[in-house]
Structure 1
């Protein structure tokens, strides 16, 4: 449920979507730490390379949504 106070004062659809995005993209510190741990411990195993790289990208994208950007070199190092 979206609380009206979170979007109060927003005059355009862009500002409303920005407020909603900020509201739902915040991740807890524990979740961020878990995602970093998941990224560092990820193994290819029997996955196809495309599937493996997509999983890495998914974790990096989740981290980016909360302001914890992962640089390309870190993604490459993980692979």
Structure 2
């Protein structure tokens, strides 16, 4: 993986969890956005949350507190 800025793609088992994540994150001002899953990632639904790698710990803690289950975490170069 190339050096430089990194992004995190967090996938979900269902569209319901992905949409819940998007709504709750927007209300709470959590950095990131819902995106379509990149073709090289296999996941339970077609959406993922994309955020900066520096935000990963904060984001995962937030998901846990909001009872939002995620499927996997993928680190990407920008």
Q: Do they superpose with TM above 0.5?
A: no
Please tell me whether Structure 1 or Structure 2 has the larger radius of gyration of its CA atoms: 1
